């Protein structure tokens, strides 16, 4: 409450050479950044506060300032969150987890058990909010670690098990457009610059990064988990106990699975048609079955189709589910995109871009990507990854325009980097959830996450360099 206005005033006084509008936006953004980092009020309300200040100071029109709340990507958020809610409500996510953990392969050792949990976390986070994924897995993981890590010496093993699940969710979330909010933000900013990425193209570019990072995570965790004592019978008894809910899929689970599969097929179809050179089919699917349209269609089907007698004749989802999705993230995205638009329209992004370009050789693209990726990874440690994406992607686009460099791969690298912060609880929702279990000391999260931050920076830069060489 004190630092934010003081920083805004400081920014105002040290930028007298800027245009009036750009100067005001810089002050507002610095104010919002402090509020985002300290979470004085909910993140979404900070975004709205920034837009409101812009309106009151006369640098934004009230008719257009909140237009982003009706953006198609907001609908994509809502639809995908409702799909995730249906999975959680009807227990489909937990059934998938228990099915994998009941396989004898995963029960052989503590590392294989971790492999099972982390694979679920990685795969589910591609399609479901990573915070929902970790929240769903946490009770199962805590139950297992308390059984197999009962001695005091083995508690550090349990810590690495827990943070590994959180890290797997963050890494899996970069694989698809809907996997993590920064992905959607990056796609939207690129589209505004005339660079369109469809669902399949994103997977094609992001999956190698996520798989290589996940591979390193497994090697890293094997180092800590490989030598721990382990009782297989205890785990078998635990899984058997949790499977007593019944082996037969309930109607609610069947409906959710059917709608989810339909949504994935429709999301992937335009990219497949584009890959096969079927231009007419690609244009038709892109026009009538855009990602946001498919998400809303899937959500509506879940409200329309009743799961037999399970919900008393109501739909698979009901009004109660509508109020339980993550509205804070949805509103943060809408308000934050409005703020990001102000950074661009006021000329502030270009001004910052031009000031940075004077210190960077345009021929050193690789060094530029490395610096930007590392900067974003470290900034995300102290603020919401969504807020960092909203704030810095337009500025980075300004830098690239100033250097007259192609946008796609540097922006993709920066957007992926927004989800690759592993050291602090505030960095990503999965980190916050496992830290909230009171089983993870912050010192161990910092120690485990520091190495992963460095490796993520190197891997993202390496993949972007590979893509840039081939363009």
Q: What is the DSSP string of 62-74?
A: HHHHTGGGG-HHH
Between 347 and 10, name the one with better pLDDT. Answer: 10
In the three-class reduction of DSSP (H, G, I as helix; E, B as strand; rest coil), residue 149 is classed as: coil
- Tell me the C-alpha to C-alpha distance, in Å, between residue 204 and each of 112, 147, 176, 211: 28, 40, 9, 11
Q: Give the pLDDT band of residue 8 (cuts 50, 70, 90).
A: very high
Domain definitions of the chain by residue range: 3-470
User: Residue 456: what pLDDT?
Assistant: 94
* Rounded Cα distance, 3 and 382, in Å: 16
Q: Give the pLDDT band of residue 63 (cuts 50, 70, 90).
A: confident
CA nearest neighbour of 262 among 287, 293, 235: 293
User: Residue 205: what pLDDT?
Assistant: 92
Q: How deeply is 132 buried, as exposed, middle or buried, from its count of CB atoms within 10 A (0-12, 13-18, 19+)?
A: buried
Q: How deeply is 336 buried, as exposed, middle or buried, from its count of CB atoms within 10 A (0-12, 13-18, 19+)?
A: buried
- pTM score: 0.70
Q: For the segment 316-364, what is each residue's pLDDT rounded down to a tens digit?
A: 898 888 888 878 777 876 777 777 778 777 877 777 766 766 666 667 7
- The mean pLDDT value for 51-79 works out to 81
In the three-class reduction of DSSP (H, G, I as helix; E, B as strand; rest coil), residue 112 is classed as: helix
- The mean pLDDT value for 107-129 works out to 83
Q: What average pLDDT is seen over the chain?
A: 82
Is residue 215 pLDDT above 90, yes or no? yes
Residue with tokens 């392969």: 105
Q: For the segment 13-23, what is each residue's pLDDT rounded down to a tens digit?
A: 998 888 888 89
User: Residue 15: what pLDDT?
Assistant: 87
* Rounded Cα distance, 136 and 104, in Å: 22
In the three-class reduction of DSSP (H, G, I as helix; E, B as strand; rest coil), residue 324 is classed as: coil
* Rounded Cα distance, 205 and 200, in Å: 9
Is residue 411 pLDDT above 70, yes or no? yes
Q: How deeply is 159 buried, as exposed, middle or buried, from its count of CB atoms within 10 A (0-12, 13-18, 19+)?
A: buried
Q: Which two tokens stand for residue 83?
A: 């799909």
Hey, what's the torsion of the CAs at 120, 126, 128, 130, to 10 degrees? Answer: 80
User: Residue 311: what pLDDT?
Assistant: 63
């Amino acid at each position: 409450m004190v630092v934010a206005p003081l920083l805004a005033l400081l920014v105002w006084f040290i930028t007298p050479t800027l245009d009036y509008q750009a100067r005001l936006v810089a002050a507002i953004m610095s104010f919002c950044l402090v509020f985002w980092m300290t979470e004085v009020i909910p993140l979404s309300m900070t975004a709205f506060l920034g837009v409101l200040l812009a309106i009151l100071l006369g640098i934004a029109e009230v008719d257009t300032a909140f237009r982003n709340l009706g953006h198609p990507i907001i609908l994509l958020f809502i639809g995908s969150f409702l799909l995730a809610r249906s999975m959680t409500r009807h227990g489909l996510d937990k059934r998938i987890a228990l099915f994998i953990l009941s396989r004898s392969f995963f029960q052989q050792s503590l590392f294989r058990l971790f492999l099972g949990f982390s694979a679920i976390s990685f795969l589910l986070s591609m399609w479901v909010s990573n915070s929902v994924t970790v929240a769903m897995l946490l009770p199962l993981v805590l139950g297992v670690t308390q059984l197999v890590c009962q001695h005091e010496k083995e508690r550090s093993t349990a810590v690495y098990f827990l943070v590994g699940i959180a890290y797997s969710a963050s890494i899996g979330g970069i694989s698809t457009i809907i996997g993590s909010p920064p992905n959607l933000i990056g796609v939207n900013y690129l589209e505004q610059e005339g660079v369109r990425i469809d669902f399949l193209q994103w997977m094609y570019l992001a999956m190698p990064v996520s798989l290589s990072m996940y591979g390193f995570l497994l090697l890293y965790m094997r180092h800590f988990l490989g030598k721990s004592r382990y009782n297989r019978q205890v785990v078998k008894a635990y899984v058997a106990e949790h499977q007593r809910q019944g082996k037969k899929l309930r109607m609610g689970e069947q409906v959710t699975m059917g709608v989810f599969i339909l949504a994935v097929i429709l999301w992937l179809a335009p990219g497949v048609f584009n890959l096969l050179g079927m231009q007419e089919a690609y244009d038709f699917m892109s026009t009538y079955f855009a990602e946001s349209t498919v998400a809303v269609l899937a959500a509506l089907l879940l409200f329309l189709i009743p799961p037999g007698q399970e919900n008393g004749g109501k739909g698979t989802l009901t009004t109660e589910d509508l109020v339980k999705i993550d509205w804070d993230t949805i509103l943060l995205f809408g308000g934050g995109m409005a703020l990001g638009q102000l950074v661009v329209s006021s000329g502030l992004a270009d001004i910052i871009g031009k000031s940075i370009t004077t210190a960077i050789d345009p021929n050193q693209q690789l060094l530029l990507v490395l610096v930007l990726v590392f900067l974003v990874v470290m900034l995300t440690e102290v603020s919401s990854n969504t807020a960092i994406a909203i704030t810095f992607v337009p500025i980075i686009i300004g830098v690239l325009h100033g250097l007259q460099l192609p946008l796609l791969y540097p922006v993709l690298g920066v957007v992926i980097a927004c989800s690759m912060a592993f050291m602090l609880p505030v960095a990503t929702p999965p980190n916050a959830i496992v830290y909230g279990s009171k089983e993870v000391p912050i010192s161990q999260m910092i120690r485990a996450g520091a190495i992963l931050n460095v490796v993520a920076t190197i891997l993202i830069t390496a993949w972007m360099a590979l893509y840039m060489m081939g363009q």
